[in-house]
Amino acid sequence: MIRILFTTEHREQHYTIQAVNMLSGLNEFDGVQIDFFDTDYQKYDVILFMGYDPRVLEARASNPRSRIGVIDPRSVTEDVVNADFIVAQGIEEMNWASDYVFDICRYDIYPIPHGRLKTHVDKKNIIIGYHGNKIHLQTMFPHLSTAIEALAEHYHVEFWAMYNIQGLGELPFDPFPGGKVKYRPIQWEWDGFERYFTHVDIGVIPNLLPIYHLPQARKNIESFPTLFYEQDTDYLLRFKCTSNIARLYPFVILGIPVVADFFPSACHTIQNGITGFIGGSTGMWYRGLVQLTASATLRQEIADRMYQQYLQTATPVVFNRNLLRFLKKIVARPPQTIPSVVTTASKRLDDLVEVNAKFLASQNDLVKVNAKSKNKKIKSLQRILTFPARVKRKLLSSIKK
């Protein structure tokens, strides 16, 4: 029997409630028991803290034999780097946390709506839905919002956005200034998916953070343009390390096809054009949206294929089974650690860049000297060619020698 404790001081957070709802399913498996919000660490083999208030050092002092993990860590703290394992929401967080902790398990936490799978039909009015936080709703401008406005030139489009309006306030700007998109903000509620999203035809997941003056930003961070063949078309993407694909699943459970931003977890999960569409640039957002808008048949096919994928890879039962298998392995052996050279690798890059910068600077100076010398020789040869034939042969002969 493995005894697990999940605890946090933020019991009323939506994220905590979603985590408890999903982790409770561990009690349906044999040989495991999970409790919530207990303070007696000594009773447990595994202790799970939420990332916003991990107390790893405190728990280890109370129960040194336990294995202690952090779910969705938000920053590098002493508690996080001393955890035995991490439970990460996406491959972005797995990549970031891998510099500090060896054992990492992928576990997506998401709200589970109750409702039937949607049957898509041809219709004149298309409703595009969003749920999540206010930040991603703001950062959809200008790429996604412009694509939706372009779509509204040919279709009647509504955009429904469900987020915590009471806690975070309305958007400070009009996301669709063209006036052809009907924007409807909706207060986030637990039953909001059943009440509102059963009417939604297409879901969107904006995630990238916009970069102001992109050409200049790309120029500012260039390393050695000639050495690495850097081009103006090179990608420069910005997204949070806590990015994940959890916002996809409520759409999938309700049978709604999705267009998601161009970030790792989305590209890892969605087969573009088969189980959904990947956005990113304004044109990519538009291409995905217009194909789904134009065809109820395609909306149905995309939604059905993604739902079948979800049943095999992403239900709470699947995540809990994978987590339990992971925890049994963690309990059975000593924790593995990350070598310090891995954690400090970025410093090695800084040192290398400094050395190479001096080397390349000297090489550039040498190139300039050689070019100047070459130009001088060319001018000398051009003068020689103007001399009489006898003098010219003598001078050219001496140059060859």
Domain contains 212: no
For 73-119, what is each residue's pLDDT tens digit? 989 999 999 999 999 999 999 999 999 999 999 999 999 999 899 99
Domain contains 236: no
Domain contains 238: no
pLDDT at 391 over 60: no
Domain contains 270: yes
For 45-68, what is each residue's pLDDT tens digit? 999 999 999 999 999 999 999 999
For 302-354, what is each residue's pLDDT tens digit? 999 999 999 999 999 999 999 999 999 999 999 999 998 888 887 776 776 66
Are 64 and 169 in the same domain? no
Residue 98 in tokens: 């891998």
Of 267, 293, 313, the residue at which a domain comes to its end is 313
Q: What is the mean pLDDT of the chain?
A: 90
Are 164 and 23 in the same domain? no
Domain contains 218: no
Are 203 and 301 in the same domain? yes
Give the per-residue pLDDT at 1.
93
Domain contains 231: no
pLDDT at 160 over 60: yes
Query: Is residue 78 within 8 Å of 54, Cβ to Cβ?
Result: no
Per-residue pLDDT, averaged over 144-164, amounts to 98
pLDDT at 399 over 60: no
Domain contains 140: yes
Share of the chain above pLDDT 90, in %: 77
Are 140 and 177 in the same domain? yes
Count: domains in the chain: 3
Range of the domain at 284: 125-207+243-313
Are 171 and 104 in the same domain? no
Are 50 and 178 in the same domain? no
Give the per-residue pLDDT at 379.
58
Are 382 and 331 in the same domain? no
Are 142 and 95 in the same domain? no
Are 170 and 191 in the same domain? yes
pLDDT at 396 over 70: no
Give the per-residue pLDDT at 384.
55
Are 274 and 306 in the same domain? yes
Beta strand 32-36 pairing with 2-7: parallel
φ, ψ at 38 (rounded to 5°): -75, 160
Residue 195 in tokens: 């009440």
Residue 367 pLDDT grade (very low, low, confident, very high; cuts 50, 70, 90): very low
Are 31 and 134 in the same domain? no
Domain contains 228: no
Are 350 and 388 in the same domain? yes
